[in-house]
Amino acid sequence: MSRIGKLPINVPAGVTISVQDTVVTVKGPKGTLTQNIDPNITVAVENNVCTVTRPDDEKQNRAFHGLYRSLIQNMVTGVSEGYKKTLELVGVGYRVSNQGQVLEFALGYTHNIFLSLPSEVKIETKSERNQNPVVILESCDKQLIGQVCAKIRSFRKPEPYKGKGVKFAGEVIRRKAGKSAGK
């Protein structure tokens, strides 16, 4: 039995889970999320506990069992508490600002980079004196916020020599020694 798949999902107050054929819908105070699931996997909700079961021990069903349990758990956490990611821009002259749902980055290129974000993601930018600029993203969808963070990070990944780039807050960049001096 899958260790992850067999764990029950506790549904907090204010969150409802409904199952229609192969679509699971989770509604809560922070929003509504839906997920298509494999027809072999069954989702049952009773007494504020959601359980995910599989019909047999076929390899594909075992894989889907844990996957869909984790996806439903992430949806429940997202609509009740939400997810928050903080990105930090490390480098001289690196700046970020937002106009509504559009982020503008100055990351040392000859041009500024503009990124339009979906309406489900809330944005906040901070630029304080003697501090690195910070982008704070909040959403109820864990997959969406992770994808947005990966896109922002891909503009200028942290490099190991000077540590410049876009990194997650609290992330440790493994530093390398540069060229050693000659004789």
* pLDDT the model gives residue 71: 95
* Dist. CA 90–CA 79, nearest whole Å: 32
Q: Do 83-168 and 9-80 fall under one CATH topology?
A: yes
Q: What is the pTM of this model?
A: 0.89
Tell me the pairing of strands 83-90 and 165-168. antiparallel
* pLDDT the model gives residue 1: 53
Which one, of 42, 39, 71, 67, lies nearest residue 54 by Cα? 42
The CATH code of domain 83-168 reads 3.90.930.12
Q: What is the mean pLDDT of each run of 10 residues along the chain (183 residues)?
A: 84 92 93 94 92 92 93 95 95 93 94 95 93 95 96 95 93 88 64
* Dist. CA 134–CA 152, nearest whole Å: 12
* pLDDT the model gives residue 68: 94
Backbone angles phi, psi at 61, to 5 degrees: -65, -35
> How many CA atoms are closer than 13 Å to the CA of 12, on its beta-carbon side?
14
The arrangement of secondary structure in 9-80, i.e. its CATH architecture, is Alpha-Beta Complex (3.90)
Backbone angles phi, psi at 71, to 5 degrees: -65, -40
* pLDDT the model gives residue 2: 65
Domain chopping of the chain, boundaries:
9-80, 83-168
17: enclosing H helix or E strand? strand 16-20
